[in-house]
Structure 1
Amino acid sequence: MVQLPDRFTLPEGLIPSTTPDPPAIPRDAATVMLVRGPGEPEVFLQRRVDAMPFAGGMTVFPGGGVDPRDADTSVAWTGHEPAWWAERLGCGEDLARALVCAAVRETFEESGVLLAGPDSETLVADTAPYAQARHALVSREFSLAGFLAENGLVLRADLLRPWANWVTPIEEPRRYDTRFFVAALPDGQRADDVTSEAVEAYWSTPRTALRDWDEGRCGLLPPTWVTLTELSRCSTVAEILATERTMGKVVPKIVRNEDAARLLLPTDPGYEEAQ
């Protein structure tokens, strides 16, 4: 696993001063790294609204919590079946189905990119006709299953690849058990900034995003920094999509000293001993 640099400290006020007792139970969530080429891959990023209760002001990938309706078995689906995803994601089939559906739904809600099409061979090329349905999904007036059925679309699970599994440290009152996915931007579609959860959205190479963080132009959470570093080691979108990943849960631990709070990852010295 990529190690965080020693200078990676957590922003003042981001980590609570006390740990909830008992710790909050993590909520299942999905996030998607949208990538595009040709040439050096770019990834789609959003800077969250400062007032957001979780990761306010941070630069992140699109994503969010699983909705109970994401587990609807009536969702039209093509690609690897839930059993395949369950093995990769380290969970039961019902949760695996819900995570994949949440990944597709959240990507559409937050970026306007829709990983679906009329059949297993084609994709939606223009999502503009679904703008109203997108708003209805955000407000939970519409379920993903209902949206796909009404428009004669099938979810393209074959376009997603599993990448990582991060769990929020126990100090946080809001915790997430988040599966990270990666997907290429479909031909003809564009990612936008039409979301109330972000103040800006843009494409960047992973190297540029990491440099922006290093020079203080953006804030990154540890999972985002690590993932961008991993993506930066791939020279093409095809290489990213072909990367085989192991999806063990990464549960960072927070350590504090007189100057700042830092995160220890499972491969860091002192992780096992940290309280």
Structure 2
Amino acid sequence: MNTTPAVPRAAATVILVRDRPDPSGERAPLQVFLQRRVPTMAFAAGMTVFPGGAVDPGDAVRPARVDGPGPEEWGRRFSCPPGEAAGFVGAAVRETFEECGVLLAGPADRFDDAARRAARAALTDRTRTLAEVLDGAGLALRADLLHPWARWVTPEQEPRRYDAAFFVAALPAGQAADARTTEAVEARWWYPADILGEHAAGAARLMPPTWLALTDLTGFDDVAAVLAATADRVAVPIRPMLVRRGERMVAVVGDREIAIP
């Protein structure tokens, strides 16, 4: 029997946040966008997740088409080589656009609705790369809208493994996140505490990285506070251990134990 662990595939995830004012003033406005994946997916089937996916070769964008930090800085912030970091950034922008229609590129007035729909469809069916979409529309990838949050490596016991960079980004003004993706059965904005409550009640299923990110986000009142917390953040790879506790499995991360749904 071959026990050699699968090689992790590079991936990127975006924690998309916004402020939704509460007229009653009873709760903080911070919300996060989440999708419940279709039950037939090969990975994380039925889970409630942030937008994201594996890095594609076409995610590399030439420096002239990037506004904001370059590969060297992203490499420092994600504790990896610059080339790997550039893939994380490109995948983060592409996956967010494909899965919920939010494009972290500009200037925004270069893209009318028809052009956005066509570009999104082309990326989804892989007839165009992110670099080709940006070049064709004269857009720059807005790396300055992305902020490092965490980096997770799937445990060695799992048959599908990912080395995933987690970014946080504020919903750009004038844009809206939608549920028009074949990879999710529903998608919407949540208050972090509410979706954690759904998970605790068994009405939603969260993987350990999602659960931990949402738990940490409950400590922030608004988008400004979240982004401020990323100012000097360096994401060191988190490699959870899977441990059996009676009839259930848990992911051990430092002194925390997170149940596996």
TM-score (ref. length: structure 1): 0.85
Deviation at 1:74, TM superposition (A): 5.8
Select the residue among 99, 105, 109 that pairs with 2:98.
109
Distance 1:137 1:102, change over 3 A: same
Report % sequence identity.
50
Q: Which amino acid aligns with 2:224?
A: A
Q: Deviations over 1:185-213 (max 9, x none)?
A: 01111111111110000100101111111
Moved more, 243-252 or 67-76: 67-76
SS in 2 for 1:255: strand
Q: Deviations over 1:38-72 (max 9, x none)?
A: 44211000000111111100000000000012124
CA distance in 2, matches of 1:85, 1:45: 25
Conserved 8 A contact 2:89-2:143: yes
Runs (4 or more) in structure 1 with deviation over 6 Å come to: 123-126
Residue aligning to 2:88: 99
For 1:67-82, what aligned pairs fall within 5 Å after superposition?
67-73=56-62, 76-82=65-71
CA distance in 2, matches of 1:81, 1:74: 7
Residue aligning to 1:33: 15
CA distance in 1, matches of 2:41, 2:253: 25
Residue aligning to 2:145: 159
Distance 1:259 1:158, change over 3 A: same
Long gaps (5+) in structure 2: 22-28
Residue aligning to 1:85: 74
Residue aligning to 2:239: 251
Query: What RMSD in Å do the two structures reach over aligned CA positions?
Result: 1.8
Q: Which amino acid aligns with 1:46?
A: Q
Conserved 8 A contact 2:11-2:52: yes
Conserved 8 A contact 2:60-2:131: no
Moved more, 220-229 or 124-133: 124-133
TM-score (ref. length: structure 2): 0.90
Distance 1:128 1:221, change over 3 A: farther
CA distance in 2, matches of 1:157, 1:74: 11
Select the residue among 116, 122, 130 that pairs with 1:144.
130
Long gaps (5+) in structure 1: 1-18, 270-275
Residue aligning to 2:158: 172
SS in 2 for 1:250: coil
